[in-house]
Amino acid sequence: MHGNPPSHPWIHRLSRTNPPGRIRLFCFPYAGGGASTFRGWAELLPDEIDVHAIQPPGREDRLFEDPVDTLQATLDAVVPELLEHSKEPFALFGHSLGAIVCWEAARVLREEHDVEPMHMFLSGCRALPAVHDGRRDLHTLPEAELIEELRLMNGTPEEILQNADFMRMLLPTIRADYAMLSRYSFLSCKPPGAPVTVFGGANDPGVGMHHLQQWSELVEGELDSMVLPGDHFFLHASRQPLLAEMAKRLLQPGREAGRDSSHRSL
């Protein structure tokens, strides 16, 4: 690993229970998102699940730090922090760009440290390496076009999109995240040892059912997949059913989640 250590921790604990829950859940946000993406999750999940969020620089309480625009720099920073928690059972969740970072962090943990999560949840993301198929390089767009793309994605409140001063602060981080996505190159690797569940939105225009099913080529056994109501940001609109499905898999250790079902919808 290389690179400078982060000036602030990348992992924020969101649960307030003491002692912590027996299972750590580490959550990776989508492009432009931060730890607040997962606000309220700790209150909706059972106390046995201790919720932690990844907080990259350039947003929220790290707003005035330079954003990171390469996956390698992200892994160099976040994997050592994940290792500090790896003595306890843990799971990983990632949405969209966060799913890619989640997958690659799990690969590094497995290949370089012989560490596996108990479960991996990949949400709102095309199966690798098809993540780039038909995608524009959003980080190179002029400001007005990039803002319009964000509006079409329906993940940013209109009042924020229309706040020119606020958007000027946010856009460098958003561009950095999309640059990371554009530069990402999939590395072929052995299937993860952990069960994998993939989630998708029923009305996500960019991630269809066929994209989700292609994850079956990267995991062992039958793919555990579920489609929930909502668009690309269904993790907000369908938060309660999403968390219920995750809790069910994490709290039934005798059940081989990810091995016993093909596809379900709610």
Phi and psi at 92, nearest 5°, equal -125, 140
Does the active-site annotation cover 7? Answer: no
Residues 6+ apart with CB under 8 A from 129: 185, 186
Phi and psi at 95, nearest 5°, equal -115, 130
Q: Rounded to whole angstroms, how far apart are CA atoms 1 and 254?
A: 35
Region for residue 30 given its phi and psi (left: phi exceeds 0; alpha: psi -120 to 50; beta: otherwise): beta
Which one of 7, 15, 36, 96 is the catalytic residue?
A: 96
Q: How many CB atoms lie within 10 A of CB 222?
A: 13
Q: Rounded to whole angstroms, how far apart are CA atoms 22 and 247?
A: 13
* The token pair that represents 88 in the structure block: 């306890």
Query: Which positions are annotated as active-site residues?
Result: 96
